[in-house]
């Protein structure tokens, strides 16, 4: 393997676009693949990023760009974290030293970067629906010579939306649409579910008898239903040949099937894709790949094959130690709560490690359910568990809760079920860009009747509020916290209702600090002191429903300010203003949060500075607001 310098190798440097790739000789392609892997490893070692998925699609991506004419032919990635190699082969290899940095390359496809990037998705299981619509559009416009290619894999076929799209695609026999199933058996961790198990059984190259023994040995162990499912679905009545024929699963939908194809044999993939392209109808190309391929630390990493490591040593694969984070605290507390209460169970959507549930799964393996990339199912399954007398804790990233809103509203809240949803990476997350900022949850959750939402400011409050959440038995609860290291511990100096008073002041400004914004608000209060403005700082702890003690507290101040790590529209600030209006309190309310726009990727502190969520910005704007209501302060020469 060549030296990992973090710069493109000679051959890769010569590829400025797909046309250059097509001119390469076949014997040059393995060299190109090596140079690509070297650059992937060097770049992600420095900046972090999705290494394992991209190491697995090197030959597949080369083959696609040699067969199809991007951007005239449209290549869609599901999920977008598999698109690093695509970026390299479409003229961006020289920019990989800027990966996931401000002003540099995004970690996902980006329309602003290249005409070859079609959709900016990072939420899984969507590309087939995009592809269905695109292919239909080209058909209607008379552009039948264009091919739409959707690459789905890394666990995305466990999402129900993908199967809704497949059902519709199969109904149209006239669409030149190719679905590449990148079957690596994993999403973040090993892919979960019946479909995944079926695909896994197809990866073997053993003789018929060995395969039959494998299927029987695994499936028939399932209590009660195992043997009937084996008989009904795995070909005993159809004959042993059908057990080994993966096309049965897809062709029953009416889709042409090509496979199985070794995804690391570039020439074999090219041949399969050319056959699919020439068919001019919907075709499945089933490609077997290995996540982390070509880099032994990733291949041998059992948890997630270096799905998305932080900064690491490219020679050894050893990751830089991460600070004590919110996710760790949640994981520890779940183990403690699990020991106290046998009714507590945990659910994750293919993110066992990223959400901190590995310790719980090791301590209570029979009480952990990984449902795959299926957030909607996760919430309704949790509703069923709650109906059965358990208390489920569903752990997902805040941005992915968007996908399961209807289930939370109509399946959980409508039935007043005790389900706790824990939202990791809430607020500004930074490096992963617009799709991963968890800036919507405090807004969309406001409309859910009977839901309680807690936002801890530090580690003790996370433990405290999680324990309170799982004690609530007459409706759902949500606990949300940001990405990264836990905030500085801040002790309360008093109580106002059930709210923590963090700083007591004279009646000038009431600062409502939502969770981790507490430290920022205390700093702003200190800066206000220098301007002769006194501020009371409170942490609501529970932001839905709001504590009624806010009403008399607001009456005693000249200005109420809410600071939150969420979009400003419809979130806690709006809820506070509505509460005060309903109580006929005419004290003005100012809200400081995230503007309602998609934010470019950058480090969290940089983004917070750009959007005005710093102590200096808050203090300055409060001073200006007070000055407008106080001519004496406005004319003070010391300002």
Between CA 538 and CA 495 the distance in angstroms is: 9
Q: Length of the chain, please?
A: 639
**DSSP string of 10-74, one letter each residue:** HHHHT-SSHHHHHTS-GGGHHHHHHHHHHHHHHHHHHH----HHHHTTHHHHHHHHHHS-TTTSE
Q: Per the annotation, does 123 bind a ligand?
A: yes
- Residue 338 makes CB contacts below 8 A (sequence gap 6+) with 344, 346, 360, 363, 364, 367
Q: How many CA atoms lie within 13 A of 35 on its CB side?
A: 20
- Residue 242 makes CB contacts below 8 A (sequence gap 6+) with 235, 248
Q: Per the annotation, does 184 bind a ligand?
A: yes
DSSP 91: I
For residue 156, give the nearest of 201, 200, 196 by alpha carbon: 196
Between CA 138 and CA 630 the distance in angstroms is: 63
Between CA 15 and CA 527 the distance in angstroms is: 54
The three-state DSSP-derived secondary structure of 473-505 is CCCCEEEECCCCECCCCCCCCEEECCEEEEECC
Q: Distances in Å between the alpha carbon of 286 and those of 145, 269, 343?
A: 23, 10, 41
**DSSP string of 284-307, one letter each residue:** EEEEE--TTTT-HHHHT-TTTSSS
For residue 397, give the nearest of 438, 369, 359, 361 by alpha carbon: 438
What are the tokens at 508? Answer: 């000038």
Q: Per the annotation, does 154 bind a ligand?
A: yes
Q: Per the annotation, does 122 bind a ligand?
A: yes
CA 639 to chain centroid: 45
Q: Per the annotation, does 198 bind a ligand?
A: no
Q: How big is the CA angle at 399 (ends 398 and 403), to the nearest 5 degrees?
A: 105
Q: Which of these is catalytic: 66, 100, 403, 604?
A: 403
Q: Which of these is catalytic: 37, 186, 291, 544?
A: 291
Q: Per the annotation, does 254 bind a ligand?
A: no
Go through 380-396 and write b for each residue having 16 or more CB atoms within 10 A of its CB, e for each that does not: bbbbebbeeebbbbbbb
Contact between 461 and 423 under an 8 Å Cβ cutoff? The reply is: no
Assess whether 291 carries a catalytic annotation.
yes
What are the tokens at 94? Answer: 């020289």
Query: Crossing angle, helix 29-47 and helix 58-67, to 10 degrees?
Result: 120
Query: Crossing angle, helix 194-201 and helix 208-219, to 10 degrees?
Result: 160
Query: Crossing angle, helix 459-471 and helix 326-340, to 10 degrees?
Result: 40
Q: Which of these is catalytic: 375, 457, 459, 544?
A: 375
Q: Per the annotation, does 574 bind a ligand?
A: no
* Phi and psi angles of residue 439, each rounded to the nearest 5 degrees, phi first: -105, 15
Other CB atoms within a 10 A radius of the CB of residue 71 amount to: 15
Known binding residues for thiamine diphosphate are: 81, 122-124, 155-156, 184, 295, 375
Q: Could you list the residues known to form a binding site, using ranges.
A: 81, 122-124, 154-156, 184, 295, 375
Q: Catalytic residue numbers?
A: 291, 375, 403
């Amino acid at each position: 393997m060549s030296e990992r310098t973090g710069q493109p190798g000679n051959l890769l440097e010569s590829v400025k676009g797909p046309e250059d790739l097509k001119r390469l000789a076949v014997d040059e392609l393995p060299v190109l693949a090596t140079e690509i892997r070297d650059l992937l490893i060097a770049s992600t070692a420095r900046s972090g990023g999705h290494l394992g998925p991209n190491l697995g699609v090197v030959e597949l991506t080369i083959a696609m760009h040699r067969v199809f004419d991007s951007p005239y032919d449209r290549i869609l990635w599901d999920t977008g974290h598999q698109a690093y190699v695509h970026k390299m082969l479409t003229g961006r290899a020289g920019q990989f030293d800027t990966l996931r940095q401000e002003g540099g390359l995004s970690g996902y496809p980006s329309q602003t970067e290249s005409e070859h990037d079609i959709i900016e998705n990072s939420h899984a299981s969507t590309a087939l629906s995009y592809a269905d619509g695109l292919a239909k559009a080209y058909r209607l416009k008379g552009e039948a010579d264009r091919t739409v290619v959707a690459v789905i894999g890394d666990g995305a076929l466990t999402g129900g939306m993908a199967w809704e799209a497949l059902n519709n695609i199969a109904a149209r026999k006239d669409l030149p649409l190719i679905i590449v199933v990148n079957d690596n058996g994993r999403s973040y961790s090993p892919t979960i579910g019946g479909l995944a198990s079926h695909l896994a059984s197809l990866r073997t190259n053993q003789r018929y008898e060995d395969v039959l023994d494998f299927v029987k040995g695994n499936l028939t162990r399932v209590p009660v239903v195992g043997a009937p499912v084996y008989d009904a679905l795995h070909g005993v009545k159809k004959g042993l040949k059908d057990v080994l024929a993966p096309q049965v699963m897809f062709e029953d939908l009416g889709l042409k099937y090509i496979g199985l194809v070794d995804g690391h044999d570039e020439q074999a993939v090219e041949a399969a894709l050319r056959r699919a392209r020439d068919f001019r109808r919907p075709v499945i190309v089933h490609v077997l790949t290995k996540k982390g391929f070509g880099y032994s630390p990733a291949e041998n990493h059992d948890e997630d094959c270096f799905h998305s490591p932080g900064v690491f040593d490219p020679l050894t694969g050893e990751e830089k130690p991460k600070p004590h984070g919110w996710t760790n605290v949640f994981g520890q507390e779940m183990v403690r709560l699990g020991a106290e209460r046998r009714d507590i169970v945990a659910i994750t959507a293919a993110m066992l490690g990223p959400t901190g549930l590995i310790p719980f799964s090791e301590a209570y393996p029979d009480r952990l359910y990984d449902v795959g990339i299926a957030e909607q199912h996760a919430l309704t399954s949790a509703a069923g568990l709650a109906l059965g007398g358990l208390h489920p804790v569903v752990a997902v990233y805040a941005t992915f809760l968007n996908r399961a809103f209807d289930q939370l509203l109509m399946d959980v809240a409508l039935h007043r079920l005790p389900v706790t949803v824990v939202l990791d990476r809430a607020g500004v997350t930074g490096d992963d860009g617009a799709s991963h900022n968890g800036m919507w949850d405090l807004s969309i959750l406001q409309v859910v009747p009977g839901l309680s939402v807690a936002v801890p400011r530090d580690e003790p409050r996370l433990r405290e509020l999680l324990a309170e959440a799982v004690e609530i038995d007459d409706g759902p609860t949500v606990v949300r916290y940001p990405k990264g290291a836990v905030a500085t511990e801040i002790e309360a100096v008093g109580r106002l209702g059930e709210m923590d008073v963090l700083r007591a002041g004279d009646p000038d400004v009431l600062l409502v600090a939502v969770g981790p914004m507490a430290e920022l608000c205390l700093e702003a209060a200190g800066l206000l002191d220098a301007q002769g403005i006194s501020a009371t700082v409170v942490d609501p702890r529970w932001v839905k429903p709001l504590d009624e003690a806010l009403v008399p507290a607001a009456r005693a101040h000249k200005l109420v300010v809410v600071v939150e790590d969420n979009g400003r529209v419809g979130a806690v600030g709006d809820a506070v203003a509505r509460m005060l209006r309903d109580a006929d309190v005419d004290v003005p309310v100012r809200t400081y949060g995230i503007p309602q726009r998609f934010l470019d990727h950058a480090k969290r502190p940089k983004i917070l500075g750009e959007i005005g969520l710093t102590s200096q910005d808050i203090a300055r704007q409060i001073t200006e607001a007070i000055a407008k209501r106080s001519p004496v302060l406005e004319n003070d020469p010391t300002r």
